[in-house]
Amino acid sequence: MTDTDLLYERRGPMAVITFNRPQARNAMTFAMYEDLRRRCQQADEDDAVRALVLRGAGGRAFVAGTDINQFREFRTPSDGVAYEERIDRIIGRVELVGKPTIALVEGYAVGAGLAIAAACDLRVCTPDAQFGMPIARTLGNCLSMENYARLVSLIGPARTKVLIFTARMASAREALDAGLVTEVVPAAEIEDRVAELCALLARHAPITLRATKEAIRRIREAGLPSGEDLILEAYGSDDFREGVATFLEKRTPVWTGS
């Protein structure tokens, strides 16, 4: 990661994290994930920050998932467990930010990008935004229980199954209708709208907002079971190895179910 792959900026009462790999549609490297965790901590420690905005650079994508090159070194199913645990720590840290968080989505929010957006409190997008979790078509892996739970809590089990089973992209309008997105705003107006939301949140009682965030998180996580057996099965499969190879080689995978 270069020093500019993830940017952090204070703008009055809001802090802005920008995923800054537009040439790769802001696909996340492991180093970017770790920097995201550090920047969330920085926002929490700054009392002047009253809201945190996450966005992608370039206007074409929020985050287009994890950079698939990161999976080339996976050798055993345990690598998948370690990866999902790592991602859970990072995305969980986004969810744990004590100030309201807003995902400003332009273009694609795919895979881990959708998971990051789902961990934010509000999601404001442009009309051309698209949301998806196409792992059944691309990698043949699965999500952690936490990431499944976030999607289910936002859009329900039926829509979560449709999103993952069909591997299709949902439009901004579909995402709004499903409850995944809180607002759809024209591209020319979205930055002003997000700044307006941050100013509104900054005028509200921070303890009320923080307590509400934490209460809803605890309700969602109550009784959440382990999913390690599912992750071991998916990441240990021939299908996962085929998915990674074919994605990088730009060919169509042949799934065997093994």
Looking only at the bridges linking them, the beta strands covering 130-132 and 14-19 are: unpaired
Handedness of CA 207, 112, 129, 188 (dihedral sign): positive
Spatial distance between the Cα atoms of 201 and 182, rounded to a whole number of angstroms: 15
The SS3 call for residue 19 is strand
pTM of the model: 0.94
Write out the two tokens for 236: 């240990």
Is the distance from CB of 116 to CB of 54 less than 8 angstroms? yes
pLDDT at 108: 98
Closest to 21 measured CA to CA, from 62, 54, 52: 62
Q: Which CATH superfamily is domain 6-186 in?
A: 2-enoyl-CoA Hydratase; Chain A, domain 1 (3.90.226.10)
Spatial distance between the Cα atoms of 198 and 13, rounded to a whole number of angstroms: 7
At 167-212, the pLDDT tens digits run 999 999 999 999 999 999 999 999 999 999 999 999 999 999 999 9
pLDDT at 223: 81
Answer yes or no: is pLDDT of 1 > 60.
no
